Amino acid sequence: MKLIHLSDIHLTVPGERMGGLDPHRRFAQALEHVNAHHSDADRIVITGDLTHWGERAAYEVLQNVLTEQAVPVRLLIGNHDDRERFKSVFTDHPCDANGYVNHAETLDDTRLIYLDSCAPKTHAGHFGADRLAWLEAELAAADHARIFMHHGPMEVGVPAKDLITMVAQDRPGLKSLFERYSTVIDYIHFGHVHAPIHGSYCGIPFSSVPSLGNQSIPDFAEPRMLLGGPLPPAYYVVQVDGRATRIHQVPFLWDGPVFATGTAWEDWAKPLAAE
Ligand SMILES: [Fe+2]
């Protein structure tokens, strides 16, 4: 199975910029690159912050773009999204019985679980008892699973980012669930932090993906402000082989030099004039 993980596209009303760039153009460039190089992917998963201001016109543009997209796309909402406005545009989008944009599907015997970790008017993640019950039912019925979410379920060790990670009161419930199903969950994939962060949690490997817009720069001393800048964007190619995972970060906008280097031992002979 091949999955494309991209995140935090922050679409605006067309014509409006965000963070000094045109998010529509950036999203189009990413999709163009995916379509050119990974048209065999099974899914494109966008882990939230589909829009920056939660505006209807931005969701409508996204809807239009996706009608022309050959690789099936799965959507999650993020803290910049507006759940009700999203649902009012994507009227057929699956939701759980409580109205959260929690949904799941089975692909190659793996349950792909897409979570809604949002709450109104807060940048932090929420995942209370009602959502936990839905997730537990999914995990109980799965042989193995892969979790996609906007907010990571844990603190990431950067003070300002931890102000907007999963709220403290909702972390223990998720942690306990992940511990109980650590042999079922193969991987946790998330966005939100606009940076690649990798590790393990409850014995489960996790990765966050860079944003399609501006990237954050980790500052381990700054207590409050999120630091960032126009570093190159990227998406992930996630190769799933049974229960194994390989993740490749693709700098799809790189237009600098590209060196081609041989892999045979003879290619490594030192030239007379070394560069
Ligand atoms: Fe974001």
Residue 275 lies in a domain: no
Distance CA 225, CA 116 (A): 25
How many angstroms is it from 141 CA to the middle of ligand 1?
31
How many angstroms is it from 34 CA to the middle of ligand 1?
20
How many angstroms is it from 270 CA to the middle of ligand 1?
46
How many angstroms is it from 152 CA to the middle of ligand 1?
12
Distance CA 83, CA 88 (A): 9
Tell me the percentage of the chain whose pLDDT exceeds 90: 95
For residues 273 and 275, the model is more confident at 273
Residue 273 lies in a domain: no
How many angstroms is it from 173 CA to the middle of ligand 1?
24
How many angstroms is it from 260 CA to the middle of ligand 1?
34
Q: What is the count of structural domains for the chain? A: 1
Asked if residue 175 lies in contact with residue 134, where contact means CB atoms within 8 angstroms, the answer is no
How many angstroms is it from 211 CA to the middle of ligand 1?
7
How many angstroms is it from 134 CA to the middle of ligand 1?
25
How many angstroms is it from 264 CA to the middle of ligand 1?
43
Average pLDDT over residues 121-131: 98
Confidence of residue 47 (pLDDT cuts 50, 70, 90): very high
Per-residue pLDDT, 275: 60
How many angstroms is it from 245 CA to the middle of ligand 1?
24
How many angstroms is it from 47 CA to the middle of ligand 1?
9
Residue 79 lies in a domain: yes
How many angstroms is it from 203 CA to the middle of ligand 1?
26
Residue 168 lies in a domain: yes
Mean residue pLDDT of the chain comes to: 97
How many angstroms is it from 269 CA to the middle of ligand 1?
47
How many angstroms is it from 98 CA to the middle of ligand 1?
25
Residue 23 lies in a domain: yes
- Domain of 54, in residue numbers: 2-268
Query: Could you tell me where the beta strands, DSSP code E, fall in the chain?
Result: 2-6, 43-47, 73-76, 103-107, 110-114, 145-149, 185-190, 198-201, 204-208, 215-216, 228-229, 235-241, 244-250
Written as one letter, the residue type at 180 is R
Residue 253 lies in a domain: yes
Confidence of residue 166 (pLDDT cuts 50, 70, 90): very high
Nearest to 42 by CA among 185, 234, 240, 251: 240
Asked if residue 7 lies in contact with residue 209, where contact means CB atoms within 8 angstroms, the answer is yes
Average pLDDT over residues 62-91: 97
Distance CA 4, CA 43 (A): 6
How many angstroms is it from 268 CA to the middle of ligand 1?
43
Residue 225 lies in a domain: yes
Residue 190 lies in a domain: yes
How many angstroms is it from 240 CA to the middle of ligand 1?
25
Per-residue pLDDT reduced to its tens digit, 190-234: 999 999 999 999 999 999 999 999 999 999 999 999 999 999 999
How many angstroms is it from 82 CA to the middle of ligand 1?
13
Q: Identify the CATH number of the domain in which residue 66 sits.
A: 3.60.21.10
| pLDDT of 248 higher than 90 | yes
